[in-house]
Structure 1
């Protein structure tokens, strides 16, 4: 079952009526009803119109490539694995996510994942030097601030969306 109405309408999902456009880059994802996703419904590497079990995941040739900046030096073939590492960390350790500023994401992780988070952030900084990761241990968990220059807020938007999605799946 998808979020589209039985009459084929979008049902408020934002992807519009039948005749969905392909997302930027020509990648075609599909809703549960087989209709192609448009750019407004492909978010965080999957269609937001379909429930998670029907969503189309990002691939090395799909949406993940579109939001990674050119200055990223991580080889293309390794990007999906890195994305999976962040998603696994968020799924296992994320307690809260806030966006105090457009250029800053604040996460609180379980303290038990301190070493994992620091190691992953260190590797990410090696390939994407515009990221700044700041850690602080508190009673309520490991606080992680991720900061980027203003021109890279779309990348931080993507990371925030993935963190929020993991938290919602909780």
Structure 2
């Protein structure tokens, strides 16, 4: 029976606490999918693993004396190991996540460019409106000055 190296079984079975913030939307769907995949992998791997509580006992082999040496066994072709499959799956998932991250970064950059363009257009429009308002104030002030100049002789004593 082979034992996984590098990661202990408790580390593989980490679970989030209920107090943790629950994600929403696509992230929640993605996490739920990963949980289902993890549960399916554990269910598939369960028949291969013996009971974790059983203690390991060394196997005792009786040594038989022989006059002739034992023939060397023929090398067996390496069988695909479960660790290799797990590693390949993790690498594939990592590559997929990196590709999604690059795609999201590209979309984020595009959105920033669009937002910057919209802000520039909005600033330009606001500046045009402020300029029009200044022109109207100046015109108003001119008309008020003319009206005062025209009305001044009416209020002077003769």
Task: Name the structure where strand makes up a greater proportion of residues.
Answer: 1
Give the TM-score category using the shorter length: under 0.3
Tell which has more relative contact order, 1 or 2 (C-alpha 8 A, sep 6+).
Answer: 2
Task: Name the structure where helix makes up a greater proportion of residues.
Answer: 2
TM-score if structure 2 supplies the norm length?
0.19
* Bigger Rg, structure 1 or 2: 2
TM-score if structure 1 supplies the norm length?
0.18
